[in-house]
Structure 1
Amino acid sequence: MNDLHRKQPFTAHRTASWSHDGYNRDWRILQPGDTIELADLEGPGAITHLWFAIDNDHGVTDPRFPRKAVLRMYWDNHADPSVDVPVGDFFGVGHGRVSSYTSALFDMSINPGEDRGAFNSWVTMPFAKRARIELENQSDSVVRIFYYVDWQRWKDFPEDSLYFQSEWRCEFPCEAVPLVEGKEGPNLDGDENYVILDAKGSGTYIGCNLSVDNRAGGWWGEGDDMIFVDGEAFPGSLHGTGSEDYFCHAWGMQANCYPYAGTSLFNHDHENWEGQWTMYRYHVPDPIPFSKSIRVTIEHGHDNHRSDHYSSTAYWYGSTPAGVSPLPACASRLPRD
């Protein structure tokens, strides 16, 4: 905001779903199996804001559609997507659910009593030559989307610019490390941790969201975060003290959403931490650069002794517009009833 009073070195543009026939039909329809292109932009430039409003056909008939619709982004004519994430998870809420929350990078504004509303991203996504965004409907229901893609056209592409990347992972369930004589053992290598991101090359890790479906009962936290930069050995240079601690909470999770950390999906009906949860941590004031590789992990319970269902979305910038890990098939990523 300190630069708003200065002359801006770009021009502002928008690609949107407005109805070109002049009527109030400002949406696009995706039949089951359809893929549509939301934007095809010529660089150099940067996407600065995404606004999506998504439902089925004038309502919600499939409440899991946020996990079944897939958002993909391609930079500079690369054949593989640099973003390949279920649309709800990309905007910060997992389990195929939606929830009103706000943060510095993403937010949702959901109508009370409805499973639909607005999704926003405020992440800067530079591109040198071309940016292409598409949405695929992998559900058995119609998906309807209203959207804005706000972007800047730059005069040139700075040599130190990085490319935004995002990928989704899951373990349903996490494999529990057996107790030793009924007690938790020590974790002295991190090998059995849940992996949020395992990326090669150089770049900057800027955060993640983590969705936990409590299947083991009781408090699901106490899993230390362990981040290994450039192939370093255990314990790594960034070693934390517990799940709620990494997400900047304490003594459990609170129903709070702050700019860089919070709980975007809080189970207000819980009695002992049961149910589904989504937390986020964005390293905006404290980004984590890497030169060769980065491995972002977290224990699922101390010493990985719990077998809950974990899924996550990682966000980072890379030096090239490379593809990310392929997204699992739709049936494999749906929450288990």
Structure 2
Amino acid sequence: MKNLKIKIVLLLVSFSVLSCIQAQKKSIVSVESLLNEMTSREQITRFPKQAFLTKHVSSYDRSSTSPSEKNWFHNWDMNQWEGVEDTKNGKEYVLMNEKSPGAITHFWMTGSGENRGQGTLRIYIDGNEKPVISQTIRSFIGENKEVGYPMSCSVSPETIADERGHNLYLPIPYAKSCKITYQSDLVKDGNPWETRSEILYYNIDYREYAEGTRIESFNKNSITQNKSIIQATNQMLLDGRFSQEKKLNELDNFQIKLAPGEELLVSKKDVGAAIQQLNMRIQEDNPTQSLRSIIIKCTFDDQQTVWAPLGDFFGAGYRIDAFETRYNKVSVDGNLKSKWLMPFKKSCKITLENIGETTIGVNGSLKYSSYKWNKNAMHFYTSWHQYTKVNTGVPKNMLGGEGVRDVNFVTLKGKGVYVGDVLTLFNDNLPIGKTSWTKEEGTFNYCWWGEGDEKIYIDGEQFPSHFGTGTEDYYNYAWCKAEKFSHPFIAQPSGGGNMTPGYTVNTRVRALDVLPFNTSLKFDMELWHWNKASINYAPTTFYYMMPGGESNIKPDYKGAKEEVLLDFEKLHTVDPKDQ
């Protein structure tokens, strides 16, 4: 009996030690832990237990110093460095030099000029003199065969490689510090357009963890050592799957017709759970105005947190163009799917409202799953509004101009995590002095609508910790290219309004680069380009917040009732015989 008691005690001690080891392993930030987080559907709905800030460094114009100064809209956002170092390798341009525990979560770059993207990228971890990465920047970021697609991607595949945005989503954690440099003999001092220098644009998102956070630093063997989980993550992203999926325990189907001005309940639940998937379809062959006229409203625990036109909510804008990201999918047959997990503690109510002038049929389904509400759980929010026929100003070279402005995507008060956005717009841009346009005239130079940079302020910052290099760069493509692309984290279902008058939709959903905030978040985007124009510009924003969070964006019925624009010929084209 005595021996039996000893064995039981030893067994209990062994279990205790094993549990401690497993708990410690879970608390260590590593390539593996971050990849597991990337594929978790549930983790994004809970405020991070392991505190971190998401920060950003880019090649933005360093002469932009204050919103109160004229320099705020300077746009020389290429070949701008954190520093320059003379090393045994030669001159190395410093892209990032962070001296606290953290992890790179997303790296974007593009280039111009000779040898673009063929210079050497070096990543130095924890103060070591030898880099863990030393290879051409494009081969590591967007064309990394060892990492594989889609975590390394170069979009759009229909665009020539030199004119694509190149992305890397592989996490690179570090315990103490991280320095990233670029070396190319073709980079020259002075105005790069005048010196015919190689040009580099870059944006890097990274996490800053609290001192004392246990981190397993990236090393030169990390990709090989994590090969299996990298491959599994890529496959899960491509398949649209999440780890640890909950079984569905309830399915609500509906098929309704909404008369003008009518609002109908499509689903209601009075016990805690989570919406796991939303599927809807407007009963029209080619819906356009109806995608704006049907408003989806979601109320969780007696607080309405979602108000948006149906098309924008699903990332479709107001036309059916097939694409698929991690959280939204639009099929060629008009089926709309949302996979944002939407938890609630006690109750939820989903309604659709028709603010249009005709009766509209909608059918769909809601899939529910179990969800354990706790102190870190958050509600899902969606805000939408439109800047209608807003003037984009008259820029002067790269130094701003008259009427250039920052427009607000959203401003939030409370505690939460910003997770993505969709931008739907119609570009009414014509060359200065012209009042009409015909297809026969072709593409005009500088008809791009999106030169402006994102500026994101977190927890009351006076200067934005996120300052980008252009709207298309924020959406992770480049050079205002119009080709369509679809990827788990980014998409351009339509780019027809990029270089000619027309319609464009851009989407970005965040992975490890989500933006936690403790008190507030403000997201502004510069709106300007080379020619004076008016534009319909509608941002949809997605975020999670603790109960009681507030958004400055209120239901925009006026904007949603505006006629949707698709036919630039109707707006601007004149018959040549009438000219």
- The two structures have a TM-score, normalised by structure 1, of 0.83
- State the distance in 2 between where 1:272 and 1:86 align: 26
What does 1:195-234 correspond to in 2, within 5 Å? 195-217=408-430, 218-234=447-463
**Correspondence 1:139 to 2:356:** yes
Partner of 2:399: 185
Deviation at 1:174, TM superposition (A): 2.7
Superposition CA RMSD, Å: 2.9
1:163 to 354, 379, 382: 379
Structure showing greater radius of gyration is: 2
Deviation per residue, 1:53-104 (Å, 9 max, x gap): 1125xx56x63100011000001023xx21000000100022x322111111
Q: 1:248 aligns with which of 460, 476, 482?
A: 476
Residue of structure 2 equivalent to 1:239: 467
Task: Determine if the alignment matches structure 1 residue 109 to structure 2 residue 334.
Answer: no
- Please tell me whether residue 47 in structure 1 is matched to residue 275 in structure 2: yes
State yes or no: 1:12 paired with 2:237. Answer: no
Return the letter of the residue paired with 1:162.
Answer: M
Match of 1:172 among 388, 407, 410: 388
Matching of residue 149 in structure 1 with residue 359 in structure 2: no
Contact 2:412–2:550, Cα closer than 8 Å, also in 1: no
Residue 297 (structure 1) aligned with residue 510 (structure 2): no
Q: Indicate whether 1:83 and 2:306 are aligned.
A: yes
Q: 1:10 to 1:120 in 2, by over 3 A?
A: closer
Query: Which residue identity does 1:98 align to in structure 2?
Result: I
Deviation, structure 1 residue 205 = 0.3
Distance change (3 Å), C-alpha of 1:6 and 1:68: closer
Secondary structure of 2:389 counterpart: coil
Query: Match for 1:121 among 338, 341, 355?
Result: 338
* CA distance 1:39–1:157, change in 2 (3 Å): same
Retained in 1: the 8 A contact 2:407–2:527? yes
Distance in 2 (CA, whole Å) between partners of 1:39 and 1:215 is 39
Amino acid at match of 1:213: F
More divergent stretch after superposition (33-42 vs 271-280):
271-280
Name the amino acid aligned to 1:318. Answer: M
**Structure 1 residues 2 and 126: CA distance shift in structure 2, 3 A:** closer
Question: How far did residue 238 of structure 1 move?
Answer: 0.9
Report the 3-state secondary structure (helix = DSSP H, G, I; strand = E; otherwise coil) of the residue aligned with 1:244.
Answer: helix
CA contact (8 A) 2:308 2:384 kept: yes
Contact kept in structure 2, 1:103 and 1:260, CA below 8 Å: yes
Which letter does structure 1 place at the counterpart of 2:399? Answer: G
Shift of residue 197, structure 1, vs aligned partner: 1.2
State the identity %: 24
TM norm structure 2: 0.50
What's the CA shift string for 1:129-176, capped at 9, x where partnerless? Answer: 10110000111211111111001133x412100110001011112333
Cα deviation 1:263-288 (Å, max 9, x = unaligned): 02232xx7933201000111122100
> What is the CA–CA distance in structure 1 between the aligned matches of 2:336 and 2:248, rounded to whole Å?
24
Residues 60-71 of structure 1: matches in 2 within 5 Å?
63-71=288-296
CA contact (8 A) 1:212 1:310 kept: yes
| SS of match in other structure, 1:82 | strand
CA gap of 1:15–1:186, structure 2 versus 1, over 3 A, is same
The answer (yes or no) to whether the contact 2:378–2:547 under 8 Å persists in 1 is yes
1:256, distance to aligned residue in structure 2 (A): 0.5
Distance 1:251 1:104 in 2: 24
Within 1, Cα distance between the matches of 2:339 and 2:350? 15
* Cα 1:184–1:138 shift into 2, 3 Å: same
Determine if contact 2:292/2:561 at 8 Å carries over to the other structure: no
Instruction: Give the letter for the 1:237 counterpart.
Output: S
Q: 1:334 aligns with which of 563, 570, 577?
A: 563
CA distance in 2: counterparts of 1:128 and 1:185, whole angstroms = 50
CA distance in 2, matches of 1:283, 1:271: 23
Q: Distance in 1 between matches of 2:243 and 2:535?
A: 50
Q: Match of 2:472, SS?
A: helix
1:92 and 2:315 equivalent? yes
Q: 1:314 aligns with which of 530, 541, 553?
A: 541
Correspondence for 1:28: 256
Query: In the aligned structure 2, how far is the partner of 1:258 from the partner of 1:332?
Result: 31
CA distance in 1, matches of 2:315, 2:296: 13
**What per-residue deviation string (whole Å, max 9, x for no partner) do you get for residues 38-63 of structure 1?**
1101232111100001125xx56x63
CA separation of 1:271 and 1:54: change in aligned 2, threshold 3 A: closer
Contact 1:260/1:281 (<8 A) preserved:
yes
Aligned equivalent of 1:22:
none
Name the counterpart of 1:260: 489
CA distance 1:304–1:311, change in 2 (3 Å)? farther
> Given that residues 321 and 493 in structure 2 are in contact (C-alpha distance below 8 angstroms), is that contact kept between their aligned partners in structure 1?
yes
CA contact (8 A) 2:455 2:523 kept: yes
Q: Matched residue of 1:173: which SS?
A: strand
Deviation at 1:216, TM superposition (A): 2.3
Deviation at 1:186, TM superposition (A): 4.1
Kindly state the Cα deviation for residue 309 of structure 1 after the two structures are TM-superposed. 2.0
Which deviates more from structure 2 when the two are superposed, residues 5-14 or residues 278-287? 5-14
Q: Equivalent residue of 1:110, what SS? A: coil
Query: Aligned AA for 2:455?
Result: M
Q: CA–CA distance in 2 between the matches of 1:222 and 1:6?
A: 38
CA deviations 1:235-282 (Å, max 9, x no partner) are x11111111100010112331011111202232xx7933201000111
8 Å CA contact 1:198, 1:294 repeated in 2:
yes
Task: Report how many residues are paired.
Answer: 309
Letter in 1 for 2:315: G
C-alpha spacing 1:129/1:216, structure 2 compared with 1 (3 Å): same
- Structure 1's unaligned 5+ residue stretches are 18-26, 112-116
Highest RCO, 1 vs 2 (Cα 8 Å, sep ≥ 6):
1
Q: Which amino acid is the alignment partner of residue 292 of structure 2? A: R
